[in-house]
Structure 1
């Protein structure tokens, strides 16, 4: 049974309530239709009910109307959600009038439904930017206790089982934080290790990557990596983590033994943490295209409940896959 089959099976066995905030978007509706047919989640669509019904006919979808459809404008719980939002943001001076307007925004409504216990996870981003998706999540759901930074991980699935956990690697951060400081980098490492353990069931072996391996170069960028390793160990003392490591030293056993003898990580890493977003984003796309490796994500991590951001260029398959992953995140929460 491959990894995605395992993730889908777990989602099917413990169905979660997943909000699709862009409920009138074609790819989202097609993914919802398939997810409902495959019983991998209980789908909640946000959008105008009449419009969604018309679109199901237009696209020839048979299962979408089994979803719960919530109209953000005419939602019968609109006032209750507005009061909840006002309470959450009153220290920022939010008024009930402002809250009533914001709850008409599907991205805010989806997060409020999670906060109120009416949903287990949310997916958006086919039509909205990452910042638009993250803003309400951070204002309403907030970050995981002990973690102050949200990051994006990619599952990298290869037919070559030589590297990582039988061909499975996790790359981070490839989606959110442009230039993390040492503390943020440490929190990204810890969050990604949690994703590895809870989502795909592997024991995380975490490498913080650099252009240097164990002092082969001296630079302030290398110092940041070493500081991040120390902070990560203080946050999660049981975590198997090491750095600074070059990518080949992290992945290739004989190179790891040569460059970093005695390291518990060198040559064995299955979680790769990049020094900044530029490196992470370039790396996953190069590996995906040149190495013919499947890249699944970004999987947002560090939020207290699952909220996931899609690429605006995503496919129906991408959204379907993310529904299953979001459901698994909710199960583990």
Structure 2
């Protein structure tokens, strides 16, 4: 049985508790989710924002600042000048002078990312108020790309309902939240990153299905050719990872259909990593799985960064914040 992120994190019992920065530190959902994560011994948290507003929200929820629940105000923090110097070094080639650097790190989203870059936090979470663009931009500019990654992409962790049958299993869907129309090369890169995320967060070997509206050449179209080319590129660079396609979803998921449509494939009917051809398919696919199939969907989770940073939905609730803190903490243990 696949453990959910909170269960998996507790099972690992890291010797040093992860520290997660949250750039919307006065939002009631963020505070509630962060307090729950700390109380469950998942992580220590740093709430970033106007200190008076953050402390007022903590107080309204019956809590206060402590060693494991810190409050950082970028306008008054003793770290801000150091962060401004670092940001200036990072962005001066883009015309950012010292004054602009100071202004940038005084914004909570950049400050929270800089906490991660300089080792004061192991990961960061935001997006309850800010847009995905705000979160991704600050992560790429401040935290940067992983040395082995060619791009940043995202995925959803999909967990079946309890007592589910008929081959229901935990899966990873990518990309469902970031890359709108990936090229064949980008599909290959997304699959490589997703294979690592599968091992780290589902703790199982990836079986990667490259999805399409065609199975093994049953239809001819440039969209199908793109997926087939992405698979070929992936196999060239990751020959030891099980991957196959192109598959329609039923051929990737249902063993009997996989045997009939793709006989001899070890992935057909057993895929646990689904690579979607574009964001339309991925976003629609995860929501259908969630709403009709009863699966729990956690994400979008970002992959390809040097250190973890993740984006919340603006419609999130406190429980979503706690889950994403757990996911981010798990990612930090596997960097």
TM-score w.r.t. length of structure 1? 0.95
Tell me by how many angstroms 1:117 deviates. 1.3
Alpha-carbon deviation of 1:90?
2.1
| Alpha-carbon shift at residue 12 of structure 1 (Å) | 5.0
Identify the match of residue 175 of structure 1 among 174, 177, 195: 177
Residue aligned with 1:128, SS: coil
SS in 2 for 1:107: helix
Q: Which residue of 2 aligns with 1:149?
A: 151
Q: Provide the C-alpha distance between the structure 2 equivalents of 1:196 and 1:146, rounded to a whole number of angstroms.
A: 17
Distance 2:12 2:319 in 1: 16
Q: Which residue in 2 is equivalent to 1:3?
A: 3
**Equivalent of 1:206 in 205, 208, 213:** 208
Q: How does 1:282-293 map to 2 (within 5 A)?
A: 282-293=284-295
Which whole-Å deviations, capped at 9, do the CAs of 1:23-71 have from their partners, x for residues lacking one?
A: 0100000111111111110111101222222222223336777412111
Alignment of 1:263-278 (within 5 A): 263-278=265-280
Q: How far apart are 1:107 and its partner, in Å?
A: 1.0
SS at match of 1:203: coil
2:109 maps to: 107
Q: Does 1:52 align with 2:61?
A: no
Q: Following the alignment from structure 1 to structure 2, what is the Cα–Cα distance between the partners of residues 85 and 236?
A: 36
In 1: Cα distance, 2:180 partner to 2:66 partner: 38
Distance in 1 (CA, whole Å) between partners of 2:106 and 2:266 is 51
Q: Select which of 164, 182, 190 maps to 2:192.
A: 190
Residue 25 of structure 2: aligned partner: 23
C-alpha distance after superposition, 1:114-138 (max 9, x if no partner): 1111111000000010000000111
Q: Who is 1:163 aligned against?
A: 167
2:95 aligns with 93
Aligned to 1:218: 220
1:242 to 237, 241, 244: 244
Work out whether residues 32 and 64 of structure 1, in 8 Å CA contact, stay in contact via their aligned partners in 2: no
Query: Is contact 2:2-2:202 (8 Å) kept?
Result: no
Q: CA deviation at 1:146?
A: 3.2
Shift of 1:163: 3.0
The total of aligned residue pairs comes to 331
Query: Is residue 179–residue 278 contact of structure 2 (8 Å, CA) maintained in 1?
Result: yes
C-alpha contact (below 8 Å) 1:12/1:41 kept by paired residues: no
Query: Residues 197 and 204 of structure 1 are in contact (CA less than 8 Å); yes or no, is this contact kept in structure 2?
Result: yes
2:158 aligns to what SS in structure 1?
Answer: strand
Q: Is the 8 A contact 1:16 1:120 kept in 2?
A: yes
Distance 2:254 2:303 in 1: 27
In 1, the alpha carbon distance for the partners of 2:209 and 2:250 equals 11
Structure 1 residue ranges without an equivalent (≥5) = none
CA RMSD of aligned residues (A): 1.7
Q: Is the 8 A contact 1:10 1:328 kept in 2?
A: no
